[in-house]
Chains A and B, each alone.
Chain A
Amino acid sequence: MTAGLPPPPGPDPAPPAGDGGGGSAGARLDVRDLEIRIGASGPDVVSGICFEVPAGEVLGLVGESGSGKTTVALALLGHARRGLRISGGEVRLDGTDLLQLPAGDLRALRGARVAYVPQDPAAALNPTLRVGTQLREALKVHPGVVDDPGGRVLEVMREVSLDPTPEMLRRYPHQLSGGQQQRIGLAMAFCCRPSLIVLDEPTTGLDVSTQRHVLDTVRSLCRSYGVAAVYVSHDLAVVGGLVAEVAVMYAGRIVEIGATAKVFGEPLHPYTRGLLAAVPSPQRAEVLTGIDGQPPRPGRRGPGCSFASRCGFAVSACLARPPEPVLIDGRAVRCIRVTQIRSADTGRPAAVTAPSAGGPAATLSLRSVSARYGRAQVLSGVELDVQPESCVAVVGESGSGKTTLARCIVGLHSNWTGEITFDGGRLVPGARDRPKETLRRVQYIFQNPYTSLNPRKTVGQIVAQPLEQLLGLPYRERAERAARVLEDVSLGSDFAGRYPDQLSGGERQRVAIARALVVGPDLLVCDEVTSALDVSVQAVIVEELRRLQRERHLAMIFITHNLALVRSIAQSAVVLRDGAVVEAGPVEQILEHPADPYTIRLIADVPKLAAPGPQQEAGGAAAAGAAAP
C-alpha cells in the first residue's frame, strides 16, 4: 500500500560518492580522512572518514551506539566534545576547510553557513531564556547575513509549521511540547539560510506522526534552499525514506557508503547485512537475526577489521590490517571479502507463527478496565484477551496508556476499576494484596535495563531473589535454578558473580528476563523491553523472547510503540489511543487491513525499510522508500 508514503528522495539514484577520488566540482561538503582522537594523543575514536554531499542532497549517516556518528556530526561544525580532539583530515564547505579556520572565523560560520539540529531539543534549549530570544539570537550573532531579521523569524516559524505569534515566542522551552521544541531547533538551524545542515537524530523520542512531519519539513526545506544535509540516525527505516545516499558507520569507520537503494537493498558489508537483518518489518513476520557481541571501544580496536570478531565471513587476513575501501557495484565497502559476500544469500526465513489458539479459555481477560492518575483519566473501558501460549502486542504512542495498562495488570498501579481475570480468578488492584502464587505466575519486565537491576547486587543474587521471596526455596536449590535459567537466556553461569555495571544493555535485559522466568510464570508482561537497546541487540532479545515463549508455553503481552516489531513477535495486536482501544485483532489483519482511521494513519506514518533482496534494481528511485510486496 502506498497511501501516505514519502515521495522518493533525490532527483536520481545518485552516482556513487566514492571516497576522496577527486570529488565532484559541485560538492557542497567534502570530508577527507577525518580523524578524531581522545585527548592529545589517545586512541582514535573515528578515522578515515571520507564522504561528499552535493548541494540539495541529504546524506544519511547510520550506526549504532559507539559507532562515532555523533562525533563526526559535530566535527562538521569544527566542534569536538570535551576530551576529544580533531586530529586530522579536512572538512571543506564550498572549498573552505573549516578545521583550519581561526576561532573567530569559525564562530562566524557556525549558525550562518553550517547549522546543527540537536538530538535532544529539550536539553538544547536554555530553560531560562524565552524561545523567541533563542531564535532571534541565531540571527543576532550573525548580523548582516539576513536582511530583515524580524521578518525572517516569523517566516522561518511558518516554514516549520509553528504559529508565528508573539505569544509563542514569549514562551519558555518547558511550555512547549517535544515536537514544538524540535521545530524550534529546526527553525534556529534554517533561519540564516545555511549551506549545510547537520541533523543529529532529530526525531528520536517524537511520536511517529510528528516524526513524519519533521522529516517532510526537512526534505522540502533542503530541496527549496539547495542546502546540503547530513542526517545522523540509528533508525534505518527513517533514513531509508529520506536520503538518496547513506554511509554506515561501525567502530569509528565508514564500512559501507553508497546509494541508499543499493546499500539497503543489497548490503555488502557483513555488518550492514547483519544490521538490516535485525530491522523488523511491518510487512512480514520474519525471524530477526541480531549480531552477537559488542563493538570494540576506542583503544581496544585491534590491528585488523573491528568487526572481524563478530563476523561470519571473517578469515585470518581480516585480523591483520584494517581493510581499505573497495569500490564495487557503485559503492565503497571496507571489506576484503566483499566479492565472496556478494554472492551469498540474503533473505530472512519467515517466522513460524504460533497457531492462534482458539478453544481454551483466555489466560488473561480485561473487561471495562479504566484507570486514573490522581484526577486524570488514563485508561477507559479497555477490553483485552490473551490466549494461552500466544503473544498479544499492545501498541500505542506516548500518552496512550499502554504502560499504565501493563502496570494495572501486574498490580503496580492500583487506581483502576473494572475486571481483570487471570486463569479464571479475579485479580485485586494492588500487588501487595495479591497472594504470592499469583505474583509468581504473572511476571513483569521493565523497559530500562539500567534501572531495573539493583547495582549493589550480583547477577546471581538478582536472579535468585524471586525464588526466595515467592517460593521460599533453600539456598542450594536457588543457586541451581538461577544457574540453569542463566544458561537458558544464553548467558553463561559465570555471569552469576558479576555486577550489573559490568554488563552491556543487552546482557542486562537478559538478566531481567532470566529473573522473570526463574519462577516459572504463566504470563509475561514485557513493557517496551527493547526500546532502550540498539537495533542489533533488539533483534537478539526479541528472538530470545520468542524462543523462550515457545519452549515454556508462556502467554505474553508485548508493549511497544514500534509497529514494525509487532509482526515479528505477536499473533494478535491491540491499538491504544488516549487510553482507549481503537482496534484489536490478529496481527496480519491489523497491519494489512486496518479499519480504524487512527490505525491507518499510524501504519502509514511508520517509516518502512524495503525488504532486503535482489528485487531492488534501477527502478530504484521508488525502491528506497516504497513498500515492496
Chain B
Amino acid sequence: MAIATAPAERAVPGRNEHPLLVLTARRLAIGVLTLFLVSVIVFLATEVLPGNAAFAVLGRSANPARLHALERQLHLDQSVLAQYWTWLSGLFTGKLGTSLANGEPVWGLVEPRLINSAVLVFAAGLFGAVVGVALGAIAALRKDSVFDHVSSVAALTVTSLPEFVVAITLIILFSTVVSHLLPAVSLLPPGTYAWSQPELLILPVATLVIVIVPYIFRMMRAAMIEALESDYVEMARLKGVPEWRIVLVHALPNAIAPTIQVIGLNFLYLAGGVVVVEYVFNFPGIGQALVFAVNNRDIPVIQFIVVALAAFYVVMNIVTDVVALLVTPRRRIAR
C-alpha cells in the first residue's frame, strides 16, 4: 500500500507538440553530422597514413615512376583538403575511383555485392525477428514450464557463441561431416546475384538467424512477462477481460516497443556479422570484399565499404527509433 505521498513536484517541461517530427528531424541532423565525421575519419585514416600511401600500397615494388603514377591515380599530389573534396563528391556522383587490386571501377565491383549482402541481412533480420518474437511470446505465456526453461537456457548458450563457430557447426552438420545436404562453400563467381542459386543462401541465412534469434527472444520474453505482471493487466483481469484479449490487446502492444529496439540493434549487428559469415561460406557480398580489400590494402574499396556500412547504421538507428516511438503513445503524443 502506498501512504499518502505528496506527488513529487515536477518542473513543467516545455510542451512538445509533435514529438515524432522533432525526433526524426533531430536524428536526421545528427545522422548527417555523424556520417560526415565518419567520412572525415575514414578519409584521414586511409589517406593520411604514416608514410606515403602509395608507398605503403606498392611496398617493395615501388620505384619512382610507379610511385608517381600511383600518386596521381590516388590524387595524392593534391592538397589534403582537395583530396577529401574529390573523394566526397565522388561518393555522391558515383565516381568512386578504381580498385587498386584489379583496376576495375569500384562501383561495378561493389554494387552486386551490396545487393547480395542486403539480401542476407534483410532475410536473416526479418526471419529472425519473426521467430524471435514468436518464441519469446510463447515462453512468456508458458513461464516456468519446461519449454520456457529449455528455451531460455538454449538462448543463453547460443548468444555466447561466435558466429563463425555457428557457421562451422552448420557446415559440419549439413555439408561435410554429418551429412551432405547443402553446399558448404559458394562457387558463385563474383559479380553474380545471390538469387541465381538460392540454395547457397540457406546456410548463411540460417547462421545469421541462429545468431540473432536468442537476443530477440530474451527481450520479447522479458517484456511480455513484465506486461503480463503489470498493474494494468491485473486491472484488466479484475474487469473480467478474457485471457486471449489480455494477451493480444493489452500485453502484446506493450511488449513490442522494447523488442523493436533490440530488433533494430540486431540489424546493426548483422552489418558486421555478415563479414565473418560471408568469409566462411565464400559468399559474394561486401563483407567478403572488405576482407579481401583489407588484405590487399585496396584503399578506395575500403573507404567506400566503411562509409556505406556507417550510412546503413545511421539509417537503421533512425528507423528503429522512429518505429519505437510510433508504438509508444506516451512518447508520441504530447500531454
Residues in A lying within 8 Å of B, measured CB to CB: 64-65, 69-70, 74, 77, 79, 81-82, 107-112, 115-116, 118-120, 123-129, 137-138, 141-142, 172, 174-175, 178, 188, 201, 204-205, 234-235, 373-376, 378, 398-399, 401-404, 447-448, 528, 531-535, 560-562
Contacts and interface: CB of A to CB of B under 8 A. Distances in A.
20 contacts: A107-B240, A110-B240, A111-B239, A119-B2, A123-B230, A127-B328, A128-B327, A141-B240, A141-B245, A174-B330, A174-B335, A204-B3, A205-B2, A373-B11, A374-B13, A376-B11, A398-B7, A399-B9, A401-B9, A561-B4
A172 B1 CA distance: 26
B177 interface: no
A402 B232 CA distance: 32
Nearest to A122: B231
B50 interface: no
Listed from nearest, the 8 A-B pairs whose CB atoms lie closest are: A373-B11, A111-B240, A110-B240, A123-B231, A111-B239, A124-B235, A376-B12, A126-B232
B1 A65 contact: yes
Nearest to B256: A128
Contact of A234 (B3, B6, B14, B239): B3
Interface string B5-28: 111110111100000000000000
Contacts of B327: 128
B9 A403 contact: yes
Interface of B: 1-9, 11-14, 229-242, 245, 249-250, 253-254, 327-330, 333, 335
A534 B3 contact: yes
A447 B249 contact: no
Contact of A128 (B234, B239, B328): B328
Contacts of B13: 374
Residue of A64, A118, A235 contacting most chain B CB atoms (<10 Å): A118
B13 to A, nearest CB: 8
Nearest to A104: B242
Contact of B333 (A172, A205, A398): A172
A108 B240 contact: yes
Given A110-B240, A532-B5, 7 more contacts: A124-B231, A125-B232, A125-B235, A128-B254, A141-B241, A174-B329, A175-B333
A201 B14 CA distance: 32
B84 to A, nearest CB: 41
Contacts of A116: 235, 238-239
Chain A interface main SS type: loop
B240 A126 contact: no
Residue of B6, B236, B253 contacting most chain A CB atoms (<10 Å): B6
B220 to A, nearest CB: 16
Contact of B242 (A107, A120, A172, A375): A107
A370 to B, nearest CB: 15
A161 to B, nearest CB: 21
Nearest to A185: B235
A205 B5 contact: yes
A478 B73 CA distance: 75
A109 B238 CA distance: 9
Residue of B11, B14, B328, B335 contacting most chain A CB atoms (<10 Å): B11
Nearest to B233: A126
Contacts of A532: 3, 5
Nearest to B243: A107
Contacts of A108: 240
Contacts of B236: 126, 137
Nearest to B231: A123
Contacts of B3: 65, 204, 234, 531-535
B329 A127 contact: yes
B224 to A, nearest CB: 14
Given A129-B249, A374-B11, A528 B240 contact: no
Nearest to A537: B3
B11 A120 contact: no
A115 B236 CA distance: 11
A17 to B, nearest CB: 23
Contacts of B254: 126-128
Contacts of B335: 174-175
A111 B2 CA distance: 24
B333 A128 contact: no
Given A172-B333, A178-B7, A398-B7, A119 B14 contact: no
Nearest to A538: B3
A235 B4 contact: yes
Given A110-B238, A141-B245, A399-B9, A201 B2 contact: yes
Contacts of B6: 205, 398, 447, 528, 531, 560-561
B237 A373 contact: no
B11 A141 contact: no
Contacts of B9: 398-399, 401-404
A373 B230 contact: no
A172 B330 contact: yes
A201 B1 contact: yes
Contacts of B14: 374-375
A564 B13 CA distance: 32
A375 B235 CA distance: 38
B287 to A, nearest CB: 38
A11 B84 CA distance: 89
B108 to A, nearest CB: 48
A377 B9 CA distance: 13
Contact of A110 (B232, B237, B330): B237
Nearest to B6: A561
A314 B327 CA distance: 59
A79 B239 contact: no
A109 B7 CA distance: 34
B28 to A, nearest CB: 26
B251 to A, nearest CB: 9
Contacts of A447: 5-6
A138 B12 contact: no
A285 to B, nearest CB: 21
A621 to B, nearest CB: 27
Contacts of B231: 118, 120, 123-124
Nearest to A528: B6
B238 A69 contact: no
Contacts of A74: 238
A532 B6 CA distance: 8
Contacts of B1: 64-65, 69-70, 119, 201, 234
A137 B241 contact: yes
A373 B329 CA distance: 26
A74 B234 CA distance: 10
Contacts of B239: 110-111, 115-116, 137-138, 141, 188
B235 A118 contact: yes
A330 to B, nearest CB: 28
Contacts of A70: 1
Contacts of A111: 238-241
A373 B9 CA distance: 11
Contacts of A142: 240
Nearest to B230: A123
Contact of B240 (A109, A175, A373, A398): A109
Contacts of B250: 126, 129
Given A119-B1, A235-B4, A378 B11 contact: yes
A148 B182 CA distance: 63
A120 B2 contact: yes
A137 B1 CA distance: 27
A71 B35 CA distance: 56
B269 to A, nearest CB: 27
Residue of B4, B5, B242, B329 contacting most chain A CB atoms (<10 Å): B4
